Amino acid sequence: MSVASPFRAMPGTDFKTKLAQLRIRIVGRLRLGLYSRSTRYGLCRDLGVPIEKPNAKIPIDVRPATETDLRSLLSLDESQDIEDRLEIAWRRAFADKGAKRCFVAIDQRDGAPCYMQWLFNAADNEFIQRLGGFPLLQPHEALLENAYTPAKYRGLGIMSAAMARIAERAADIGASHVITFVDEHNIPSLKGCQRAGFNPHMLHHRTRLLFGLIKGDDFETLAGADPRRTQRF
Ligand SMILES: CC(C)(COP(=O)(O)OP(=O)(O)OC[C@H]1O[C@@H](n2cnc3c(N)ncnc32)[C@H](O)[C@@H]1OP(=O)(O)O)[C@@H](O)C(=O)NCCC(=O)NCCS
């Protein structure tokens, strides 16, 4: 089994796919407009607090991603709606930038990958800061980023089951706390995170100017008694 390598994450991408990816990313940029402001919840799971891990409606297992997994999960085709194509193009670009340590969930009925998410730790701070939009990770922290379940697998509880298990892999890279960021309007993802043992602890306000060419980030830790820490999505 070959683990996805940092700089050849999406090898063999043909010209047509590269062009499609570029077109979709331009659509994403144009949507940002001249000025946009968004808020994400920062959620945290303390691995020292045991949780009852949820199970998906299909049998799954999690393991490090291979290049074949990435190609399968991130293939672009005309049948996907534009929202999904934007999500895929975003992750393809993320992989191309050199994101390492991607994990996948596998559908044990046929071995097909059905979920993906990247795991980072403080050793990845340089890469994370280059991306922008994340606080500097402390030595005890890990970051889970860019969860994705292909449309045909959604609503089967795969995200929560897989994320609960992938988060625990953070202990292998020295972390005791795992954080993740989710747009305040992405209810499926917020629900999935919460079922995987994550709860809100900060807000990330992002301002983008000129189609996202200029970005500003502001992180706000929620006060201990803030009701958003314990709200249910
Ligand atoms: C977000 C995403 C990963 C969820 O994947 P999933 O495997 O379908 O998630 P789950 O089946 O575990 O569902 C998570 C929760 O959202 C709920 N849900 C699913 N679709 C929903 C919808 N359209 N509206 C409201 N809730 C929804 C599920 O019922 C579940 O809640 P529950 O635990 O209370 O039952 C998937 O929708 C996706 O890939 N979306 C596009 C990319 C994205 O938004 N990634 C997250 C970035 S932070």
Tens-digit pLDDT profile for residues 91-149? 998 998 889 999 999 999 999 999 999 999 999 999 999 988 999 999 999 999 999 99
Ranges of residues in the chain with a pLDDT under 50 are 1-9
In 3D, which of 166, 226, 171, 206 has the Cα closest to residue 32? 206
Which atom of ligand 1 lies nearest, measured to the CA of 149? 39
pLDDT of residue 20: 83
Residue written as tokens 């297992």? 61
In 3D, which of 3, 147, 148 has the Cα closest to residue 65? 3
DSSP state of 218: E
Ligand 1 pocket test, candidate residues 159, 163, 206, 233, most atoms within 8 A of CB: 159
Residue written as tokens 């900060």? 202
What domains are there in the chain, each with its CATH number? 15-229 (3.40.630.30)
Q: Atom 10, ligand 1: which residue's CA is nearest? A: 157
DSSP state of 173: G
pLDDT of residue 27: 85
pLDDT of residue 77: 86
CA distances from 16 to 11, 27, 35, 84, 114 (A): 14, 17, 31, 18, 25
pLDDT of residue 25: 84
